[in-house]
Structures are given as structure tokens and as C-alpha cells.
Amino acid sequence: MTRPVRGDAPRAEPAPPPTGRAAIDRNGPPLLEVRDLAKHFPVRRGSFGRVRAHVRAVDGVSFDLWRGETLGLVGESGCGKSTTGRALLRLIEPTGGDVRFDGQDVRALDRTGLRALRRRMQIVFQDPVGSLNPRLSVGAMLEEVLTVHGLGLPNRRDRAVELLERVGLSADHIDRYPHEFSGGQRQRLGIARALSVEPDFLVLDEPVSALDVSVQAQVINLLQDLQAELGLTYLFIAHDLAVVEHVSDRVAVMYLGRIVELAEASALYAEARHPYTRSLLSAVPRPDPVGRASRSRIVLEGDVPSPIDPPSGCPFHPRCPHPAKDASCRGIVPGLEGRAESGRGGERVGHFVACHHPYHGTPAP
């Protein structure tokens, strides 16, 4: 096995893109480079507010993201997915690590430079109600974004209409207020607002988790159409692995602030190697109308450890069901390691797992 040196992010060969999208070129530099990203929140106690401990919400995350690619980021609630997305954009300040967007050091930017960069890096939030100003009409909201970013176009209202129509709404909606829309329509408004400044990269933070299944499909199809049309790059944060499988080129699995597995979506769903990933996949409903499929549910014992006091060694070892679990799991933190695999054009390293005893050659349950 080969292990990337500290500061390097796992790299993968391109996979065939979904229909309607151009092939992802991973020969050039990534659009987004993340190295050892960390975010620790202080825990203050006592009348003087002294820092007694830190919540290690994100604890050393590294990955690359290429133009036109979708990276799915999955894991249980509280594992650090949303914190990772917000730290990338500096909506919250990272504690440590490096973030480079198109070669530019995001953490080194002052307020003016960060505002300019945010025209290219936007976010769509999970809760469309909480992210839309209820006192502004749809048209006023979109025009305000253009003004804030210095896009004082003389035809801002026409631009707002164009954005509404691009996300599947009507020009008649421009004078309505957020409370007059359904949940799916409000999420389309959030997407329109993010697109208003013509970004290259979107953090999609649980964009469909609050929607009905039929509406989820409509919004996901919209996001995929926009990606094919505009060449957008997505970090798709979710806990629903069935949705992530459908939209992602690669998938990163997080546990307790760390990435424990990273691979092309097809490879990860066919042959997950980390015990945690396998337990998550075992809970994904699969269509089986005649009841012939045989699969076992992997139930994890105990609760997720506290990020204030994470366990020594592998953070997953207190709940790990792997029969080969041993003392090394309790004492040594595993690195994210990849195995050389044959692929188009020769050997490649495409599947990374942070485990002392990863599964190999056995399909996921």
C-alpha cells in the first residue's frame, strides 16, 4: 500500500461522467485544494469564561476537487460535514490547515479579497426558510446580492427574472415573498441566489434533506442540469447515501471530524473498505420487489464519542465491529492510505481508507 505524505490529498483517476457532462480532467491542477483543515470550538466555563477544552469538529481533513466534479461528503449528524463546508468558505474561521481555490490562498485573504473570491464560491443552505430574508421580495433579494458584490447592472431586474427562470420558476414570482413559496420552490430560490454572481464552486449543504422525495428528485435534476450547463463544481454534503450515490463522482466519508474513506462513487458503493462505511451502506434501502436480495444490517454498538474527548488511536475503534480489531486500533491513529489499482491508462491510486485492517476483495453488504 502507498500512503500520501502529510499535506498531500488523495488523487483519483477520472471516472465516466454522468450523462450530459463533460469528462473531468484531473491532469491539471485542482480547482480546490484542502490540506489538514481543522476547526476546533472552545468550550468556556466558569464566571471568567476560561477555555477548558475544545470541540474538535473538523480534525485534519484533506482532499482535492477538480473543475466540473461533484464530491459527496457523508456521515452521521455531528461528524463535521457542514462545519467543513463553512470553513472552506470562511463563513467560520478555520483553526488550522490550508485552503487554496484556483491557486489562491483563501485563509490569507483580507476582507476585500475574500468578498471578491466569494463571487466564485457560494453556498446553498439546508434550510431555505432560514436563509431567505422574509422582508424582501424575491426580486429585491436577488438584486441586493448583485449590489453587494458590486454588480450594479442597469438591468438588474431582468437579471433576476433570468435567474428565476433558470431554476424553474416564473417571472411572475419576482414580486412575491419567501413565505408564499413551497419548500421546493424556496430551495430553488436559494440556488438562484447562489447563481446570481456566476460562481464556479458551490457548497451544497444538505440541499434536499428537508424536502419530500419527489421534490428531492426535481431539485437534484436541476442541480445536475445546471452543472452540465454552467460547468459548476460541487461539494455535496448529505447524510442520505442513496442521494449521494446518484449525484457524486467521488465520495468522502467522515467520522468524528476525519475522512475515513475516499473513493470514486462506483468503487465505494461496490466495495467499501472501512467498517464504518460498510455499516452506513448496510442501512441504505435497496429496491427488492421479490425479496431475493440477501443482505445483513451492520448495527454499531454505543454512541459516537465526544469530539471534546475523542478516543485514542482510531476514532472509530470503540464502535468498530471488525473481527480483526486489535491493540493497534486502540493506540495508533490510522492514516488515509490508498491501494494501487489497475484502471484506464495503467496503474492508479484511487481508493483511500483510514483503517488498520481494511476490507479487500469483499463486496459491501
pLDDT tens, position by position, 29-70 = 999 999 999 999 998 876 677 888 899 999 999 999 999 999
Residue 15 confidence (pLDDT): 46
What is the CA 365 to chain-centroid distance, rounded? 24
pLDDT number for residue 18: 52
Instruction: HSE, CB side, 13 Å, CA atoms: give it for residue 118.
Output: 23
Rg (CA), the chain: 21
Kindly tell me if the per-residue pLDDT of 108 is higher than 90.
Answer: yes
d(CA 193, CA 223): 13
DSSP state letter for 178: G
Average pLDDT along the chain: 86
Query: In terms of pLDDT, which residue wins out, 290 or 73?
Result: 73
User: What does the alpha-carbon distance between residue 359 and residue 67 come to, in Å, rounded to a whole number?
Assistant: 31
Kindly list the structural domains of the chain, giving each domain's residue range(s) and its CATH number in brackets, ordered by start.
31-46+53-120+231-286+295-365 (3.40.50.300)
Rounded mean pLDDT of 318-345?
80
Confidence grade of residue 342 (pLDDT, cut at 50, 70, 90)? very low
In degrees rounded to 5, what are phi and psi of residue 143? -65, -35
Whether the predicted pLDDT of 150 surpasses 50? yes
Per-residue model confidence (pLDDT) at position 269:
93
CB 279 within 8 A of CB 297: no
Per mean pLDDT, which range of 23-27, 258-262, 348-352, 358-362 is the poorest?
A: 348-352
The C-alpha atoms of residue 148 and residue 271 are separated, in whole angstroms, by: 47
At 212-247, the pLDDT tens digits run 888 999 999 999 999 999 999 999 999 889 899 999
| CA–CA dist 142, 161 (Å, integer) | 9
**Residue 8 — pLDDT band, cuts 50, 70, 90?**
low
36 — alpha (psi -120 to 50), left (phi > 0) or beta? Answer: left
pLDDT of residue 6: 41
Backbone angles phi, psi at 19, to 5 degrees: -55, 135
- Across residues 4-28, what is the average pLDDT? 58
Residues 6+ apart with CB under 8 A from 76: 239, 255, 280, 304
pLDDT at 75: 92
Reduced to 3 states (helix: H, G, I; strand: E, B; else coil), residue 305 is coil
Q: Could you report the per-residue pLDDT of 135-149, keeping only the tens digit for each?
A: 999 999 998 888 887
Confidence class for position 2, pLDDT limits 50, 70, 90: very low
Which parts of the chain fold into alpha helices (H)? 81-89, 111-117, 128-131, 138-148, 156-166, 183-195, 213-230, 241-247, 265-270, 275-282, 327-331
pTM: 0.88
Contact indicator for 153, 159 with CB cutoff of 8 Å: yes
